[in-house]
Amino acid sequence: METNSNSPANTQKGDTNPLPVGQSAPKAQQVQPVDLATPPGKKNEIAADTKQESSDDERANNKHPYIVQIIENAERNRFEKRTILLGWFGVGLGFLSLLAACLAGYFIYHQWWEMNAQTGYMNSAANQARHDSAAASKATVDQLRLMQGQLTQQEASTKATEEAMRTDQRAWVEQDLAPGIRMTDNAIMTVPIKLTVRGKTPAQKVEGIVVVTVRNRDQMPDFVYKTGHPRYRFSIPVLWSDAPRTLPFEAQRNDGKGGIEILTYDSNMRNRLAQEEAYLVVNGRITYQDDFGVGHWLTFCGIVTNNIMTYKPPEAAKKCDAYNRMDSNK
C-alpha cells in the first residue's frame, strides 16, 4: 500500500526530520506484493536482500567524488628542459661507459689471449730446456765417468811406471860375510861384513846394529839389541852403489858380571868350535833411505863356517835363515 507524500500529516513529519545538506534523500522502498506460494523462509531471504541493497546504495551516496584537474601546457619550463637534458646526458654517458667497458673487455681478452699464447710458448720452451738440460747433464755425467775411468787407468799406469822406475833406480842395501875372517891363535876373533848397494842411486842415512858372538850348540840366536847386550852400532851418511863398504866386527859376549867380554881365539875356543860344542853367529839390523826419501830396513843372520868351523846346529840355522828379511816399501 502506497502513501501520498502530499498529505499534511506527512509534511509535518518530514519537517521534523530534515536531511543533512549534501546528501540525497533515500529512495522510497517499494513494497513487494506478497506471494502466497512462497514459503516463510523464502520471504525472509527476500527481505534481507532488500536491506542489503538499500545499505549499499546509502554507502555509495555517502562517498565524496575525487576532483581531478588536468592542466595542459604545450611549453616546457626550464626545470623540465634541464631534467630531460640531464636524462639524455646520463643515457649518453651510460652508453659511452658500456662502449668503454666493451672495448676494455675486448682489449683485456686480447691481451689475455696473447699472454696465454706467450705463456704456452714459454712453457714449451721451458720443457724443451729441461729436456735438453737433462740430456746434457746425462751426457756430462757419462763423459765425466769416462774421463774418470781414463784418469784412473792413467793414474794406475803412471803409478806402475813410477814404481817400476823407483824399483829400478832406488837403492837396495845388501849385507854379506866378507872373506878374511880372522881366527889367529891368541888373537881377537874378527868377522868382516860387506855392505853393498844394488841400484842406480845411493843409499842415505845407513845405520845398523851388529852382534858377533859365540853360542853353545843348544842355544838359539836371541836377536836382542838393547843396551847392555853385546852389540855394535855403525852409521854411514851415504853409501854409493859403486863403492861397497866392509866393516870388521869383533866377537864378544856377556862376562856374567854385567860387562862385555871380547872373545879371543885360544886353544879352548878352537877345541869347542872344532868339536861342535859351540858355533859363531853374526846377526843384525840395518836401516836406510833411498834417493826418493822412502825408508827401508833389513835384518840378517848367518852362522860362520870355515875349515875349522863346519857345524851348523839345525834348529839355530833354521831360526837364523828365517830372520833374513827386508821391507817392501815403494
Q: Flag whether pLDDT at 25 surpasses 80.
A: no
- CA atoms of 266 and 274, how far apart (whole Å): 12
Judged by average pLDDT, the poorest of 33-37, 71-75, 278-282 is: 33-37
* Listed ranges 34-38, 95-99, 176-180, 281-285; the one with the highest mean pLDDT: 281-285
The residues spanned by each domain of the chain are 172-326
| Look-up of cell digits 878374511 | 180
Burial of residue 206 (CB within 10 Å: 0-12, 13-18, 19+) is: buried
The mean predicted confidence, pLDDT, of the chain is: 80
Mean pLDDT value of segment 31-54:
49
Decide if pLDDT at 45 tops 70. Answer: no
Indicate if the pLDDT at residue 16 is higher than 90.
no
> Quick one: which of 220, 191, 205, 229 has its CA closest to 297?
205
Count CB neighbours of 222 within 10 A: 13
pLDDT tens digits for range 233-245 = 999 999 998 899 9
Instruction: State the average pLDDT over residues 246-274.
Output: 90
CATH number for the domain running over 172-326: 2.60.40
For residue range 151-206, what is the model confidence (pLDDT) as tens digits? 898 889 888 888 888 888 888 999 998 888 888 889 999 999 999 999 889 999 99
Q: How many helices (H) and strands (E) does the chain have?
A: 5, 12
The three-class DSSP label of residue 260 is strand
